[in-house]
């Protein structure tokens, strides 16, 4: 059913033309006993278990984080986030598949875990570009880190693979964009691309985005995806086994994102079979 799409994606992977865009849903592949929060709903439950929050915002991640920040200090939010995502969970088969690709210029990771970085540990040349909170680093949008976790000046961040984490991550420096004010600062500037690193803007040009473990149910999800993929190719894919909502379906059509109705685990098998089946790269329709 999805053979043509699998062949196109496989060919684009082999030519370094795919930008994997990873969401929290990828953690479902880590097993039922995975201790990491695998959704905003899971995460807000962890935060509100650590601090008292008004009932009406207990299920709203950004609002709950903002309340804790206002009344318990930013350090309390950072500590709770670090505790939620600090673990010894191993990368999934999909993470390892991505890490095995010879040509992988850019990966976007929109959750706070460190599994992509763990999977990339064996790559020859890679590093992070990571969003940072204005509450902690006023006037600065992004920090760059080498594979060893050390800070790197932006002009020296020239790696074969760039792991872009617009919301931050537990690793290597516990940077998190999670509260209302964090998002307001970014959203004020994102339309003119200020918070998005120049390297990301350059590397996305002409490339196809592949959304894995992502949903587009909220306006925030759609806005971030739309701005990060701006000026890229006109053809993209999303592995989305769940039935899209009306807003999701509208977004997929608007951005020319082809939905692939496969579980993530089956997608990994299908794409590997396609790469083995096709010795010569296939042309992808721009």
Question: Residue 234: how many CB atoms within 10 A of its CB?
Answer: 10
Residues in the chain with pLDDT < 70?
1, 279-286
- What pLDDT, on the 0 to 100 scale, is given for residue 275? 83
Q: Position of tokens 């082809």?
A: 258
Q: Are 165 and 195 spatial neighbours (Cβ–Cβ below 8 Å)?
A: no
DSSP string, 223-282: HHHHHHTTTS-S-EEEE--SPPPHHHHHHHHHTTEEEE-S-HHHHHHHHHHHHHH-SSPP
> Which residues 6+ apart lie within 8 Å of 128 measured at CB?
117, 143, 144, 145, 162, 163, 164, 165, 169, 172
Angle subtended at Cα 270 by Cα 264 and Cα 273, rounded to the nearest 5 degrees: 145
- What pLDDT, on the 0 to 100 scale, is given for residue 167? 97
Dig out the tokens for 79 from the structure.
Answer: 């500590």
Q: Where are the beta strands (DSSP E) in the chain?
A: 18-22, 106-109, 126-131, 142-146, 161-165, 168-169, 175-176, 208-212, 236-239, 257-260
Domains of the chain as residue ranges with CATH: 3-32+92-277 (3.40.50.1220), 40-85 (no CATH)
What are the tens digits of pLDDT across the range 163-209? Answer: 999 999 999 999 999 999 999 999 999 999 999 999 999 999 999 99
What percentage of the chain has pLDDT greater than the value 70?
A: 97
- What pLDDT, on the 0 to 100 scale, is given for residue 278? 74
- What pLDDT, on the 0 to 100 scale, is given for residue 281? 47
- What pLDDT, on the 0 to 100 scale, is given for residue 279? 59
Nearest-angstrom CA–CA distance, 106 and 49: 36
What are the tens digits of pLDDT across the range 214-229? Answer: 999 999 999 999 999 9
- What pLDDT, on the 0 to 100 scale, is given for residue 1? 58
């Amino acid at each position: 059913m999805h053979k043509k799409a699998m062949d196109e994606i496989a060919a684009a992977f082999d030519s370094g033309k795919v930008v994997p865009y990873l969401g929290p849903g990828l953690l479902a592949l880590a097993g039922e006993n995975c201790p990491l929060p695998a959704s905003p709903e899971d995460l807000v439950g962890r935060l509100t278990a650590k601090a008292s929050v008004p009932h009406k915002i207990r299920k709203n991640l950004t609002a709950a984080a903002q309340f804790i920040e206002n009344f318990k200090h930013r350090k309390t939010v950072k500590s709770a986030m670090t505790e939620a995502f600090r673990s010894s969970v191993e990368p999934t088969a999909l993470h390892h598949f991505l890490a095995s690709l010879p040509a992988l210029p850019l990966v976007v990771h929109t959750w706070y875990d460190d599994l992509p970085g763990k999977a990339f540990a064996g790559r020859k040349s890679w590093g992070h570009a990571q969003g940072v909170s204005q509450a902690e680093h006023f006037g600065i949008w992004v920090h760059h880190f080498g594979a060893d976790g050390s800070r790197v000046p932006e002009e020296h961040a020239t790696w074969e693979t760039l792991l872009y984490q617009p919301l931050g991550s537990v690793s290597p420096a516990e940077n998190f964009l999670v509260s209302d004010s964090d998002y307001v600062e970014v959203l004020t500037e994102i339309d003119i691309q200020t918070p998005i690193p120049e390297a990301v803007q350059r590397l996305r040009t002409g490339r196809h985005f592949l959304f894995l473990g992502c949903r587009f149910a909220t306006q925030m999800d759609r806005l971030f995806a739309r701005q990060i993929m701006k000026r890229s190719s006109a053809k993209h894919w999303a592995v989305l086994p769940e039935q899209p909502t009306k807003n999701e379906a509208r977004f997929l059509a608007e951005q020319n994102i082809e939905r692939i109705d496969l579980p993530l685990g089956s997608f990994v098998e299908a794409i590997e079979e396609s790469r083995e089946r096709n010795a010569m790269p296939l042309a992808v329709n721009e």
